[in-house]
Amino acid sequence: MTGPEGADADGATAAAGPGRERQRRLARAALARVAEPGDELVGRWVDELGPEETWRALREDRRPAGATPERWAGLRLRAERAAPERDLSVIAALGGRFVCPGDREWPSQLDDLGWARPVGLWVRGRCSLRFVALRSVALVGARACSEYGAHVAAELGMALAERGWTVVSGAAYGIDGAAHRGALAVGGATIAVLACGVDVSYPAAHRELLGRIAESGLVVAELAPGDHPTRARFVQRNRVIAALTRGTVVVEAARRSGALITARHAGRLGRHLMAVPGPVTSGLSAGAHRLIREDATLVGGAGDIIELVGEMGELAREESGPVVSRDLLAPQAARVLDAVPAVGAADAEELARGACTSREAAIARLHELSSLGFVERVGDRWQLCR
């Protein structure tokens, strides 16, 4: 992914200046509205021509190689309606932002998607997507899950969150919702990756859940604000979940479940593929069993998952220190970390006071710091990792 943008440095604007950087961001926002998620043709143009030139070509009707006239016409129709300035205002009004490749917050593991890499991600929430996704696991599964599946998903969500792992899912009914709720229940970080705009509540009954996720975790989408889900968008959304995480766990899935698509994406991307078994008498476990028979690892609890996705010697690492250097922390995160006492624990309010920030901002930073292995949560308080 090193085209005319040079090392993907949309955000590293030293040479180009803030004007150039803004043009680039606008072009990516426009393309996010125009191109369907996972459109590898547009991805290739962005890679080879750069986002601005791709966007300019669309507006000026200069068809690049590879596009059929029909395809080009379709993209052009959409481009007529694109209003990237407005979309960026909308996301800002939601308290969110548009994160692009090369930005400090961009999770570079998404680059593994090649030309299918999202042109950008619309993000709601306070944490850094890059940091919170660094140690993350996807929990996915059936919408119409069983009580058993919902129970296991919630337990895994809780246990992973308690051990500093971010739970990534799709905010759907069933397994997804249970996994997010499990992580939220213990005050952990969780990311919902949507197949629609981050301002669209889908399913509608999950409006409150999505609000809670945005509050203490992140709601993420490659679709521009206001866009609605389609079958194809669900499929493409799954590739983002798979790429964002170190591994995907299928909790409960029938033989023809969408969760299996995420699973296959995970496998193709070299991520860990895991599945939770269930009764063989339950059709809702048939998909998981099939995956285990093929190439997924059977996991029965958070310990099994972390054993697989954790660094070599994860347990030792948790005791010996964080995964990134303190120098790489953003200034606000570094200030919150400085506020954590050397001995004992402190609650979010004390830490916010120490770091001179709001309580909410402090909590967001603490989740990042927890994901990175700097701090850990003990009840309502936070302390340095030993």
Query: What is the per-residue burial (b if ≥16 Cβ within 10 Å, else e) of 114-150?
Result: ebbbbbbbbbbbbbbbbbbbbbbbbbbbbeebbebbb
Residue with structure tokens 């992973």? Answer: 160
- Does the protein bind its own copies through residue 185 (CB under 8 A)? no
Amino acid 17 reads G
Which of residues 221 and 296 has its CB atom nearest to its own copies in the complex? 296
Interaction pattern, residues 302-341, with its own copies; x per rule: CB under 8 A? --x-------------------------------------
Residue 95 or residue 300: which is nearer to its own copies going by CB? 300
Is residue 287 a contact point for its own copies (CB under 8 A)? no
Q: What Å distances lie between residue 26 and 4, 34, 233, 256, CA to CA? A: 17, 12, 22, 39
Which tokens go with 128? Answer: 């850094």
Which string of DSSP letters, residue by residue, matches 70-121? HHHHHHHHHHHH--HHHHHHHHHHTTEEEE-TTSTT--GGGGGGGGGS-S-E
Decide if residue 256 touches its own copies (CB under 8 A). Answer: no
One residue of 152, 158, 196, 214 binding its own copies per CB under 8 A = 152
Among the listed residues 71, 151, 212, 264, the single contact to its own copies using CB under 8 A? 151
Show Cβ contacts of residue 370 under 8 Å, excluding neighbours closer than 6 positions: 164, 189, 376, 377, 382
Dist. CA 238–CA 6, nearest whole Å: 28
231: its two tokens: 């079958």
Which amino acid does the sequence have at 385?
C
Q: Please, which residue, 280 or 343, has the CB nearer to its own copies?
A: 280
The size of the interface with its own copies (CB under 8 A), counted in residues, is: 19
Which residue bears the tokens 């129970």? 151
> What stretch of H or E contains 327?
none
- 2 sits near its own copies (criterion: CB under 8 A): no
- State the minimum distance, in angstroms, from the CB of residue 263 to its own copies: 15
- Burial-class residue 341 by CB neighbours within 10 Å (0-12, 13-18, 19+): middle
Binding residue for its own copies (CB under 8 A) from 66, 211, 300, 313? 300
Shortest separation between residue 191's beta carbon and its own copies, angstroms:
24
Find the part of the chain contacting its own copies (CB under 8 A) among 130-138, 147-155, 174-182, 330-338: 147-155
Residue 2: how many CB atoms within 10 A of its CB?
9
Per-residue burial over 10-23, b = 16 or more CB atoms within 10 Å of its CB, e = otherwise: bbebeebeeeebee
Candidate residues 3, 203, 301, 354; the one interacting with its own copies per rule CB under 8 A: 301
54 or 285: CB nearest its own copies = 285
Q: Contact between 297 and its own copies (CB under 8 A)?
A: yes
Nearer to its own copies, 172 or 276 (CB): 276
Say how far apart CA 90 and CA 40 lie, in whole Å. 27
CB of 274 to its own copies, least distance (A): 10
- Looking up tokens 């895991």, which residue turns up? 274
Comparison of 178 and 375: residue with beta carbon closer to its own copies: 178
Which of 88, 193, 276, 305 contacts its own copies by CB under 8 A?
Answer: 276
Question: From CA 238, how far away is CA 358, in angstroms rounded?
Answer: 34
Nearest distance in Å: CB 155, its own copies:
8
Burial class (CB in 10 A: 0-12, 13-18, 19+), 276: buried
Please report whether residue 280 would count as binding its own copies according to CB under 8 A. Answer: yes
| Contact between 278 and its own copies per CB under 8 A | yes
For its own copies, the closer of residues 74 and 267 by Cβ is 267
**Which range of residues in 53-61, 85-93, 236-244, 297-305 is near its own copies by CB under 8 A?**
297-305
Smallest separation (angstroms) from its own copies to the CB of 288: 8
Residue 281 as a binder of its own copies (CB under 8 A): the answer is: yes
Regarding 292 and contact with its own copies (CB under 8 A), the answer is yes
Residues that bind its own copies (CB under 8 A): 148, 151-152, 276-281, 285-286, 289, 292-293, 297-298, 300-301, 304
